[in-house]
Amino acid sequence: MACGNFYLLLLIVFGVVHSGHGQLSPNFYSSSCPNALSIVKQGVAKAIKNEARVGASLLRLHFHDCFVNGCDGSILLDDTSTFTGEKTAIPNNNSVRGFEVVDQIKANLEKACPGVVSCADILALIARDAVVYYGGPTWKVGLGRRDSLTANRSAANAFIPQPSFNLSNLTSSFAAVGLSFKDMVVLSGAHTVGFARCTSFRSHIYNDTNIDAAFAKSLQNKCPRSGSNNVLQPLDYQTKFQFDEKYYQNLLVKKGLLHSDQQLYNGNKADSYVKMYAMKQGEFFSDFAAGMIRMGNIKPLTGSNGEIRRSCHKTN
Protein backbone atom coordinates (compact mmCIF):
# COMPACT_ATOMS: atom_id res chain seq x y z
CA MET A 1 0.00 0.00 0.00
CA ALA A 2 1.32 3.42 -0.88
CA CYS A 3 2.10 5.65 2.08
CA GLY A 4 -0.47 8.18 0.95
CA ASN A 5 -3.21 5.58 1.00
CA PHE A 6 -2.25 4.49 4.48
CA TYR A 7 -2.55 8.02 5.83
CA LEU A 8 -5.83 8.46 4.04
CA LEU A 9 -7.06 5.31 5.79
CA LEU A 10 -5.92 6.65 9.18
CA LEU A 11 -7.72 9.89 8.48
CA ILE A 12 -10.91 8.06 7.64
CA VAL A 13 -10.69 5.90 10.77
CA PHE A 14 -10.13 8.91 13.04
CA GLY A 15 -12.76 10.88 11.21
CA VAL A 16 -15.31 8.16 11.95
CA VAL A 17 -14.29 7.90 15.61
CA HIS A 18 -14.51 11.64 16.09
CA SER A 19 -17.60 12.39 14.09
CA GLY A 20 -20.62 12.95 16.24
CA HIS A 21 -21.16 10.81 19.23
CA GLY A 22 -17.96 10.00 21.06
CA GLN A 23 -19.45 12.43 23.57
CA LEU A 24 -22.43 10.38 24.73
CA SER A 25 -21.74 8.34 27.84
CA PRO A 26 -23.88 5.90 29.83
CA ASN A 27 -22.54 7.53 33.02
CA PHE A 28 -23.40 11.08 32.02
CA TYR A 29 -25.82 11.62 34.93
CA SER A 30 -24.12 9.45 37.53
CA SER A 31 -23.10 12.38 39.70
CA SER A 32 -25.53 15.10 38.51
CA CYS A 33 -28.65 12.92 38.84
CA PRO A 34 -27.78 9.52 40.27
CA ASN A 35 -31.41 8.33 40.37
CA ALA A 36 -32.25 9.41 36.81
CA LEU A 37 -32.19 5.92 35.31
CA SER A 38 -34.31 4.37 38.04
CA ILE A 39 -36.82 7.25 37.91
CA VAL A 40 -37.26 6.69 34.17
CA LYS A 41 -37.50 2.92 34.52
CA GLN A 42 -40.16 3.15 37.24
CA GLY A 43 -42.13 5.66 35.19
CA VAL A 44 -42.10 3.38 32.14
CA ALA A 45 -43.15 0.32 34.18
CA LYS A 46 -46.00 2.23 35.80
CA ALA A 47 -47.21 3.54 32.45
CA ILE A 48 -47.17 0.14 30.70
CA LYS A 49 -48.95 -1.50 33.66
CA ASN A 50 -51.60 1.16 33.24
CA GLU A 51 -51.85 0.71 29.45
CA ALA A 52 -50.10 -2.23 27.80
CA ARG A 53 -49.65 -0.48 24.45
CA VAL A 54 -47.95 2.68 25.61
CA GLY A 55 -44.44 1.18 25.70
CA ALA A 56 -44.69 0.60 21.95
CA SER A 57 -45.75 4.20 21.49
CA LEU A 58 -42.75 5.34 23.54
CA LEU A 59 -40.33 3.26 21.49
CA ARG A 60 -41.69 4.84 18.32
CA LEU A 61 -41.29 8.38 19.72
CA HIS A 62 -37.51 7.91 19.97
CA PHE A 63 -37.39 6.67 16.35
CA HIS A 64 -39.44 9.61 15.07
CA ASP A 65 -37.30 12.00 17.08
CA CYS A 66 -33.96 10.64 15.83
CA PHE A 67 -34.85 10.53 12.12
CA VAL A 68 -35.63 14.26 12.04
CA ASN A 69 -32.44 16.30 12.50
CA GLY A 70 -31.10 13.86 15.08
CA CYS A 71 -32.13 12.72 18.57
CA ASP A 72 -32.80 16.16 20.01
CA GLY A 73 -36.30 16.00 21.51
CA SER A 74 -37.70 18.04 18.61
CA ILE A 75 -40.77 15.79 18.29
CA LEU A 76 -41.90 16.88 21.76
CA LEU A 77 -42.13 20.60 20.94
CA ASP A 78 -45.55 22.18 20.52
CA ASP A 79 -46.19 24.65 17.69
CA THR A 80 -45.07 28.24 18.30
CA SER A 81 -45.42 31.51 16.43
CA THR A 82 -42.01 30.92 14.82
CA PHE A 83 -42.28 27.26 13.79
CA THR A 84 -44.79 24.48 13.21
CA GLY A 85 -43.84 21.44 15.23
CA GLU A 86 -43.53 17.81 14.15
CA LYS A 87 -46.57 16.43 15.95
CA THR A 88 -48.84 17.10 12.98
CA ALA A 89 -46.48 15.84 10.27
CA ILE A 90 -48.07 13.08 8.14
CA PRO A 91 -46.43 10.12 9.91
CA ASN A 92 -47.19 11.63 13.34
CA ASN A 93 -50.62 13.25 13.12
CA ASN A 94 -53.29 11.21 14.96
CA SER A 95 -50.66 8.54 15.42
CA VAL A 96 -47.76 9.34 17.75
CA ARG A 97 -48.65 9.07 21.40
CA GLY A 98 -47.20 8.65 24.87
CA PHE A 99 -46.54 12.35 25.51
CA GLU A 100 -48.23 12.27 28.94
CA VAL A 101 -45.81 9.53 30.02
CA VAL A 102 -42.84 11.66 28.96
CA ASP A 103 -44.36 14.60 30.87
CA GLN A 104 -44.85 12.55 34.04
CA ILE A 105 -41.29 11.21 33.93
CA LYS A 106 -39.87 14.66 33.18
CA ALA A 107 -41.80 16.09 36.16
CA ASN A 108 -40.32 13.42 38.46
CA LEU A 109 -36.83 14.12 37.12
CA GLU A 110 -37.25 17.86 37.57
CA LYS A 111 -38.23 17.23 41.19
CA ALA A 112 -35.14 15.12 41.80
CA CYS A 113 -32.61 17.15 39.76
CA PRO A 114 -33.99 20.39 38.30
CA GLY A 115 -32.71 21.34 34.86
CA VAL A 116 -30.38 18.37 34.46
CA VAL A 117 -31.87 15.58 32.33
CA SER A 118 -32.71 16.40 28.71
CA CYS A 119 -35.92 15.41 26.98
CA ALA A 120 -33.90 13.78 24.19
CA ASP A 121 -32.19 11.50 26.73
CA ILE A 122 -35.54 10.68 28.33
CA LEU A 123 -36.76 9.43 24.93
CA ALA A 124 -33.66 7.26 24.49
CA LEU A 125 -34.04 5.75 27.98
CA ILE A 126 -37.78 5.10 27.78
CA ALA A 127 -37.34 3.34 24.44
CA ARG A 128 -34.83 0.93 26.00
CA ASP A 129 -36.89 0.44 29.18
CA ALA A 130 -40.03 -0.29 27.15
CA VAL A 131 -38.24 -2.95 25.07
CA VAL A 132 -36.91 -4.57 28.25
CA TYR A 133 -40.37 -4.46 29.87
CA TYR A 134 -41.84 -6.36 26.89
CA GLY A 135 -39.18 -9.07 27.23
CA GLY A 136 -36.69 -7.80 24.66
CA PRO A 137 -32.94 -7.17 24.88
CA THR A 138 -31.26 -4.51 26.95
CA TRP A 139 -28.39 -2.17 26.11
CA LYS A 140 -26.43 0.68 27.68
CA VAL A 141 -27.96 3.98 26.59
CA GLY A 142 -25.38 6.65 25.79
CA LEU A 143 -26.44 9.92 27.47
CA GLY A 144 -25.67 13.61 27.30
CA ARG A 145 -27.91 14.67 24.42
CA ARG A 146 -29.24 18.20 24.68
CA ASP A 147 -32.61 19.50 23.47
CA SER A 148 -33.27 21.38 20.26
CA LEU A 149 -34.45 24.98 20.18
CA THR A 150 -36.68 24.32 17.20
CA ALA A 151 -38.68 21.71 15.28
CA ASN A 152 -39.49 21.27 11.60
CA ARG A 153 -42.66 19.65 10.30
CA SER A 154 -41.46 19.51 6.68
CA ALA A 155 -38.35 17.67 7.80
CA ALA A 156 -40.53 15.14 9.65
CA ASN A 157 -42.51 14.61 6.45
CA ALA A 158 -39.34 14.23 4.44
CA PHE A 159 -37.31 11.96 6.73
CA ILE A 160 -39.67 9.59 8.54
CA PRO A 161 -40.29 6.54 6.34
CA GLN A 162 -43.88 5.80 5.35
CA PRO A 163 -45.76 2.50 5.14
CA SER A 164 -46.20 2.89 1.37
CA PHE A 165 -42.43 2.75 0.85
CA ASN A 166 -40.84 -0.06 -1.11
CA LEU A 167 -37.46 -1.56 -0.32
CA SER A 168 -35.42 1.05 -2.14
CA ASN A 169 -37.30 3.90 -0.46
CA LEU A 170 -36.85 2.29 2.94
CA THR A 171 -33.17 1.72 2.29
CA SER A 172 -32.57 5.32 1.29
CA SER A 173 -34.43 6.78 4.24
CA PHE A 174 -32.24 4.80 6.65
CA ALA A 175 -29.12 5.65 4.63
CA ALA A 176 -30.06 9.34 4.85
CA VAL A 177 -29.50 9.20 8.62
CA GLY A 178 -26.41 7.00 8.40
CA LEU A 179 -28.04 3.65 9.13
CA SER A 180 -27.32 0.50 7.15
CA PHE A 181 -29.54 -1.89 5.23
CA LYS A 182 -29.16 -4.43 8.03
CA ASP A 183 -30.10 -1.76 10.62
CA MET A 184 -33.22 -1.11 8.58
CA VAL A 185 -34.21 -4.78 8.65
CA VAL A 186 -33.45 -5.30 12.32
CA LEU A 187 -34.95 -2.04 13.61
CA SER A 188 -38.16 -2.82 11.75
CA GLY A 189 -38.37 -5.69 14.24
CA ALA A 190 -39.75 -3.07 16.64
CA HIS A 191 -43.03 -3.90 14.89
CA THR A 192 -43.15 -6.97 17.11
CA VAL A 193 -45.09 -4.69 19.49
CA GLY A 194 -47.88 -2.16 19.07
CA PHE A 195 -50.55 -1.25 16.57
CA ALA A 196 -51.26 0.44 13.27
CA ARG A 197 -54.37 2.24 12.05
CA CYS A 198 -56.48 1.03 9.17
CA THR A 199 -55.33 3.98 7.09
CA SER A 200 -51.73 2.75 7.39
CA PHE A 201 -52.40 -0.77 6.05
CA ARG A 202 -55.51 -0.37 3.86
CA SER A 203 -53.69 -0.30 0.57
CA HIS A 204 -51.66 -3.40 1.53
CA ILE A 205 -54.73 -5.53 2.36
CA TYR A 206 -56.71 -4.50 -0.73
CA ASN A 207 -54.11 -3.89 -3.43
CA ASP A 208 -51.02 -5.97 -2.74
CA THR A 209 -50.56 -9.56 -3.84
CA ASN A 210 -47.74 -10.46 -1.47
CA ILE A 211 -50.14 -11.05 1.43
CA ASP A 212 -51.71 -14.27 2.71
CA ALA A 213 -55.26 -14.34 1.31
CA ALA A 214 -57.02 -15.42 4.51
CA PHE A 215 -55.03 -12.87 6.52
CA ALA A 216 -56.00 -10.11 4.08
CA LYS A 217 -59.64 -11.16 4.23
CA SER A 218 -59.78 -11.09 8.02
CA LEU A 219 -58.22 -7.62 8.04
CA GLN A 220 -60.67 -6.40 5.40
CA ASN A 221 -63.45 -7.30 7.83
CA LYS A 222 -61.95 -4.84 10.31
CA CYS A 223 -60.74 -2.18 7.90
CA PRO A 224 -63.24 -1.29 5.16
CA ARG A 225 -62.30 0.31 1.84
CA SER A 226 -63.37 3.65 3.22
CA GLY A 227 -64.04 4.96 6.70
CA SER A 228 -62.85 3.50 10.03
CA ASN A 229 -59.45 5.07 9.39
CA ASN A 230 -58.46 4.84 13.04
CA VAL A 231 -59.37 1.19 13.63
CA LEU A 232 -56.32 -0.50 15.14
CA GLN A 233 -54.74 -3.84 14.35
CA PRO A 234 -51.61 -5.36 15.93
CA LEU A 235 -48.40 -5.10 13.90
CA ASP A 236 -47.55 -8.63 15.13
CA TYR A 237 -50.86 -10.48 15.17
CA GLN A 238 -49.42 -13.29 17.33
CA THR A 239 -47.90 -11.52 20.36
CA LYS A 240 -48.56 -7.78 20.31
CA PHE A 241 -47.14 -7.03 23.75
CA GLN A 242 -44.20 -9.41 23.67
CA PHE A 243 -40.89 -8.33 22.18
CA ASP A 244 -39.93 -11.46 20.23
CA GLU A 245 -39.01 -12.72 16.74
CA LYS A 246 -42.60 -13.52 15.72
CA TYR A 247 -42.70 -10.35 13.57
CA TYR A 248 -40.16 -12.00 11.24
CA GLN A 249 -41.97 -15.36 11.35
CA ASN A 250 -45.11 -13.53 10.19
CA LEU A 251 -43.24 -12.09 7.21
CA LEU A 252 -42.16 -15.60 6.15
CA VAL A 253 -45.85 -16.56 5.76
CA LYS A 254 -46.86 -13.22 4.20
CA LYS A 255 -48.61 -11.93 7.28
CA GLY A 256 -46.87 -8.58 7.62
CA LEU A 257 -49.41 -5.85 8.41
CA LEU A 258 -47.80 -2.97 6.53
CA HIS A 259 -46.73 -2.84 2.90
CA SER A 260 -43.33 -1.70 4.18
CA ASP A 261 -43.09 -4.70 6.55
CA GLN A 262 -43.71 -7.25 3.79
CA GLN A 263 -41.14 -5.49 1.59
CA LEU A 264 -38.54 -7.10 3.86
CA TYR A 265 -39.51 -10.58 2.71
CA ASN A 266 -40.43 -10.23 -0.90
CA GLY A 267 -37.74 -12.01 -2.89
CA ASN A 268 -34.90 -9.56 -2.35
CA LYS A 269 -31.71 -9.14 -0.38
CA ALA A 270 -33.55 -8.56 2.90
CA ASP A 271 -34.91 -12.14 2.84
CA SER A 272 -31.82 -13.76 4.29
CA TYR A 273 -31.84 -11.43 7.31
CA VAL A 274 -35.55 -12.04 7.89
CA LYS A 275 -35.04 -15.81 7.77
CA MET A 276 -32.17 -15.55 10.22
CA TYR A 277 -34.02 -13.32 12.69
CA ALA A 278 -37.15 -15.50 12.47
CA MET A 279 -35.03 -18.47 13.54
CA LYS A 280 -32.52 -16.96 15.93
CA GLN A 281 -33.85 -14.79 18.71
CA GLY A 282 -30.30 -14.23 19.98
CA GLU A 283 -29.17 -12.69 16.68
CA PHE A 284 -32.27 -10.52 16.50
CA PHE A 285 -31.82 -9.29 20.06
CA SER A 286 -28.12 -8.46 19.79
CA ASP A 287 -28.44 -6.79 16.37
CA PHE A 288 -31.51 -4.86 17.53
CA ALA A 289 -29.67 -3.56 20.60
CA ALA A 290 -26.69 -2.50 18.48
CA GLY A 291 -29.03 -0.87 15.95
CA MET A 292 -30.82 1.08 18.68
CA ILE A 293 -27.49 2.40 19.92
CA ARG A 294 -26.60 3.54 16.39
CA MET A 295 -30.03 5.13 15.97
CA GLY A 296 -29.65 6.89 19.33
CA ASN A 297 -26.33 8.30 18.15
CA ILE A 298 -27.82 10.20 15.21
CA LYS A 299 -26.62 13.80 15.36
CA PRO A 300 -27.01 14.52 19.08
CA LEU A 301 -26.66 18.09 20.32
CA THR A 302 -23.87 18.18 22.88
CA GLY A 303 -21.59 20.65 24.66
CA SER A 304 -23.18 24.07 24.60
CA ASN A 305 -25.50 23.36 21.65
CA GLY A 306 -29.21 23.38 22.37
CA GLU A 307 -30.37 23.42 25.98
CA ILE A 308 -31.84 21.29 28.76
CA ARG A 309 -35.54 22.07 28.48
CA ARG A 310 -37.46 22.52 31.70
CA SER A 311 -40.65 21.44 29.94
CA CYS A 312 -40.38 19.04 27.00
CA HIS A 313 -43.20 20.96 25.28
CA LYS A 314 -41.32 24.23 24.85
CA THR A 315 -37.95 25.88 24.82
CA ASN A 316 -36.85 27.64 28.02
Ligand X SMILES: *[C@@H]1O[C@H](CO)[C@@H](O)[C@H](O)[C@H]1NC(C)=O
Task: Tell me the longest C-alpha to C-alpha distance in the chain.
Answer: 67
Tell me the C-alpha to C-alpha distance, in Å, between residue 92 and each of 168, 185, 204, 231, 281.
Answer: 22, 21, 20, 16, 30
Decide if residue 154 touches ligand X (CB under 6 A): yes
Annotated binding residue 274: no
- From 62, 64, 204, 259, active-site residue: 64
Interatomic CA distance for residues 31 and 27, integer angstroms: 8
User: Candidates 19-27, 74-82, 112-120, 186-194 — which segment interacts with ligand HEM by CB under 6 A?
Assistant: 186-194
Annotated binding residue 161: yes
Considering only residues 232 to 261 of the shown chain, the ones binding ligand HEM according to CB under 6 A are 235, 258, 260
* 136 φ/ψ angles, rounded to the nearest 5 degrees: -90, -170
User: Candidates 57-65, 206-214, 275-283, 296-304 — which segment interacts with ligand HEM by CB under 6 A?
Assistant: 57-65
Please select the residue that binds ligand X; options are 25, 169, 239, 302, rule is CB under 6 A: 169
Length of the chain: 316
Q: Which does 187 bind (CB under 5 to 8 A by kind): ligand X, ligand HEM, none?
A: ligand HEM
Interatomic CA distance for residues 183 and 157, integer angstroms: 21
Interatomic CA distance for residues 219 and 217, integer angstroms: 5
Under 8 Å between Cβ of 118 and 73: yes
Under 8 Å between Cβ of 144 and 23: yes
Q: Which is nearer to ligand X, 19 or 203 (CB)?
A: 203
Q: Which does 101 bind (CB under 5 to 8 A by kind): ligand HEM, ligand X, none?
A: none
Annotated binding residue 18: no
Which are the catalytic amino acids?
Answer: 64
The residue ranges that bind ligand X (CB under 6 A) are 88, 93-94, 152, 154-155, 158, 166-169, 202-203, 206-207, 225
| Residue ranges of the binding site for heme b | 191
